[in-house]
Structure 1
Amino acid sequence: MSKYDEAMKLLEDQVGNKDGLITLSTIALEPGADGKCRPAARIVDAYYEDGAFYTVTYATSNKMQQIAQNPEVAVCIIVENFTADGIGENLGWVCDEKNAEMMTKLRKIFAAWYYEANNDEDPNTCLLRIRLTKGLWNDAHKGIRNEIDFINKTAT
């Protein structure tokens, strides 16, 4: 098994097929006090599958406005010692036919809270995909450091 395949298996084993909390960082629309770009981070419930995280959010939220201006994002899963860069994509309304397969999975995975937090009838309730581009498993206590290139499907 290649190092990349090992990294993908570890990612799937650790965070796949479940509701998990990740930190999602974007670039704020307003600059910091020094006039430079500043990060904006928040915790979101997400589902991981095949190199991407998926979450349901609202099209006019700050995070989606920020992603519309700059789709480069970063994610962090603290317990698993995993960080990654990716591209955020608004896949549109959760009830759009093109999102049916993923939304069936998400409604099941997020069943405990999904309908309390989301209104599927509102066309601004949208599906966000975060396609990972590069990642890092880094656990100094266990001597693990794996850099993952999701685009070229390599790991070192």
Structure 2
Amino acid sequence: MSMYQEGLKLMEEKFGGGKDNAISLATIAREPGADGKPRPVVRSVDAYYEDCTFYVVTHAKSNKMQQIAENQEVSVAGCLEMFTANGVAENLGWVLDPKNAVIRTKLRTAFSEWYDMANNEKDENCCFLAIHLTKGTLNINHWEKLYHMDFVNKTDMKNGGIF
């Protein structure tokens, strides 16, 4: 088994299996910082993981979605696991759109304790966000073993990844 395949297996164990995961999601603010340079914005979100993608239920008019509309490049970090990654964010649209039926069922199940309380599915701005991972590093046991993964080319990266 390659390092990439081993890393994917560990990702599935840590984040998959229908779990509700707390992750940090970083975007770039629409307004620059005081020095005129891009300013990062980070927040925690609940996410469902499957096949190198994290899925989030959110609102299309939220700051994060407005920021993503301008720049789809994002970063994530596992709040309870030592995992950091870059990805490309995609607004999948309204949760009740028929094309979202399969992922909706999975997210409603994973987030069953709070889904209906936190989301108004009748609001067409209630949407799904997909974060397609591009590259990342899974850190096992505080630097005992590092998995540097290129999710696009489906291989490990020899010279480091995301720290």
Distance of 1:5 and 1:141 partners within structure 2: 20
Gaps of 5+ in 2: 158-163
Distance of 2:136 and 2:20 partners within structure 1: 20
- Superposition deviation, residue 3 in structure 1: 1.3
State TM-score, norm by structure 1. Answer: 0.97
Corresponding residue number in structure 2 for 1:128: 129
Q: Which amino acid aligns with 2:13?
A: D
Q: Matched residue of 2:113: which SS?
A: coil
Corresponding residue number in structure 1 for 2:142: 141
Gaps of 5+ in 1: none
Corresponding residue number in structure 1 for 2:15: 15
Corresponding residue number in structure 2 for 1:6: 6
CA distances 1:25-81 after superposition (whole Å, capped 9, x unpaired)? 000001101010000000000000000000100000000000000000000013210
Q: Matched residue of 1:4: which SS?
A: helix
Q: Matched residue of 1:129: which SS?
A: strand
Corresponding residue number in structure 2 for 1:27: 28
- Superposition deviation, residue 140 in structure 1: 6.4
State TM-score, norm by structure 2. Answer: 0.93
Distance of 2:53 and 2:31 partners within structure 1: 27
Distance of 1:126 and 1:137 partners within structure 2: 28
CA distances 1:116-156 after superposition (whole Å, capped 9, x unpaired)? 10000000000000000001012463511111000000014
The size of the alignment, in residue pairs, is 156
Alignment RMSD: 1.0
Corresponding residue number in structure 2 for 1:102: 103
Distance of 1:26 and 1:141 partners within structure 2: 26
Range with greater deviation from structure 2 (73-82 or 21-30): 73-82
**Alpha-carbon contact 2:25-2:77 (below 8 Å) kept:** yes
Structure 1's consecutive aligned runs of 4 or more residues displaced over 2 angstroms after TM superposition are 138-142
Distance of 2:23 and 2:150 partners within structure 1: 20
**Alpha-carbon contact 2:25-2:45 (below 8 Å) kept:** yes
Distance of 1:147 and 1:98 partners within structure 2: 33
Distance of 1:55 and 1:38 partners within structure 2: 23
**Alpha-carbon contact 2:22-2:80 (below 8 Å) kept:** no
Distance of 2:34 and 2:133 partners within structure 1: 30
Q: Which amino acid aligns with 2:5?
A: D
